[in-house]
Amino acid sequence: MPLGNSPFRKYILGLETKVPLANGQQTNYINFDNAATTPPLYSVIKTLNDFAPWYSSIHRGQGYKSLLSSEFYEDSRKIVLNFVKGNPVSHTVVYGKNTTEAINKLSYRLSNSEGKNVILTTEMEHHSNDLPWRNRFTVDYIKSTDDGSISLADLESKLIKYNDRVRLITLTGASNVTGYKNPIYKAAGLAHHYHTKILIDAAQLIPHSPIDMKHANESEKIDFLVFSAHKMYAPFGTGVLIAPKETFLNGSPEYSGGGTVKVVTQDNVYWDLPPHKEEAGTPNIMGIIALMEAINSLTKFGLDKISNYEEKLCNYTAKQLQNIPDLKIYNTKKIPKVAIIPFNIKGIRHDILARCLSHEAGIAVRNGCFCAQPYIQKILKISPGEIKRHINNTELHPGLVRISFGMYNTYEEINKLIEILNDISKDKNKYLRKYS
């Protein structure tokens, strides 16, 4: 039985935090909900504290602190581009609140362009990479293969079908439900062959795997990339949109106000150049400082090393889960994935199971549909009639329980999870009486 601490565990804040249990005792919190939000790195908090005395306005004054803060803010764009191997000549970095805002911003911008009006996406997308496109474009969904990844053959057939009307292909780098990775570079190659561009939602991918926007094969480069700092050990909320500079050259921004203009008169507005035109209001410099330190730390640790460690955790957990009665795992296909395991135990609702793990063992998991309801509906084979029944009543939606690992999780934590899941499965009535 493998045991031992993660080589990255010492860098994470809050792992010794005690939480209360149903029996009145306390235990160390075990977080298996990293796909939603990761805990902060010690170095991130230290860097924020060190910078705090120098915190000031961005682009708003000639005071020393303001100049220093502005310099940090602008230099951060180079660090972001270097992290994902973006092109500083052709790409710009736009900051926002989160990945959701980044995708909405791009949807708004592209909808103001003439001509192409089709968006190709997938059925495995987070709602944030589905809903922003629906009211502005014709959206079509690339089919999945039997192994759960997207069908490149179907992607190509749809590119041919729409005959140069495709404005953008937009897909997740890794599913937040199954963890399955998509062949993003091959999809990019198809996009460019058929004269369109590609957006990768890297929110689930970026803390686990290296990303190369330029790519050795020029035809397989990534045009647009979005991700969020809060999934890569950096709190305070920052979303990143990397895009070709010409995307934002013309037209007005989605949000206007301070920081977006060169000149304003009562009759006219002369917009600033991107990215400043797209960043209305006072920027979130503390969020950017947190992101920069997280990038520096992840680079130092090595994303390949992180990925290899998390893959071992995931494989060990899946093997142990297979021995638990009535437990079903929903991502058993042998394809590349990030460290996520979705499952259910027969006879126990997903919300009750998650509550049991929290109150009985201090273990945090996510349950429900993970903001990916169409994908969950497909995975669980939910009929249209059943979906309709859930629209107009308060009955709990069908869903899953999700384990998602971070680089700091350990085999010992996994063994505690397996122990309590075994107990729940073998004595369901006890837990149903207690938590239903």
Strand-pair category, 118-122 with 166-172: parallel
Q: Taking Cα atoms as reference points, which of 200, 203, 204, 228 lies closest to residue 213?
A: 200
Domains annotated for the chain, with CATH where assigned, are 7-30+302-433 (3.90.1150.10), 42-298 (3.40.640.10)
Residue pair 48/290 in contact (Cβ under 8 Å)? The answer is yes
Q: Taking Cα atoms as reference points, which of 418, 409, 351 lies closest to residue 39?
A: 409
- What is the pTM (predicted TM-score) of this model? 0.95
The rounded Cα 22 to chain-centroid distance in angstroms is 32
pLDDT of residue 306: 98
Name, in order, each residue with C-beta under 8 angstroms of 327's C-beta and a sequence gap of 6 or more.
Answer: 321, 343, 344, 345, 346, 421, 425
Name, in order, each residue with C-beta under 8 angstroms of 168's C-beta and a sequence gap of 6 or more.
Answer: 110, 119, 120, 196, 197, 198, 199, 224
Q: List, edge to edge, every strand of the sheet that includes 224-228.
A: 91-96, 239-244, 224-228, 197-201, 166-172, 118-122, 138-142
Residue pair 99/201 in contact (Cβ under 8 Å)? The answer is yes
Q: List, edge to edge, every strand of the sheet that includes 340-345.
A: 327-329, 340-345, 400-404, 366-368
Q: Cα separation of 14 and 214, whole Å?
A: 37
pLDDT in tens, the chain (436 residues): 455 679 999 999 999 999 999 999 999 999 999 999 999 999 999 999 999 999 999 987 899 999 999 999 999 999 999 999 999 999 999 999 999 999 999 999 999 767 789 999 999 999 999 999 999 999 999 998 877 788 999 999 999 999 999 999 999 999 999 999 999 999 999 999 999 999 999 999 999 999 999 987 889 999 999 999 999 999 988 999 999 999 999 999 999 999 999 999 999 999 999 999 999 999 999 999 999 999 999 999 999 999 999 999 999 999 999 999 999 999 999 899 999 999 999 999 999 999 999 999 999 999 999 999 999 999 999 988 888 787 777 677 899 999 999 999 999 999 999 999 999 999 999 999 999 8
Q: Cα separation of 418 and 403, whole Å?
A: 12
pLDDT of residue 3: 58
Q: Cα separation of 229 and 292, whole Å?
A: 9
pLDDT of residue 295: 98
Helices (H), 322-410: 350-361, 373-379, 384-391
- Amino acid identity, position 401: V
DSSP class per residue in 209-229: S---SS-SSGGG--SEEEEEG
Residue pair 38/229 in contact (Cβ under 8 Å)? The answer is no
Residue pair 165/364 in contact (Cβ under 8 Å)? The answer is no
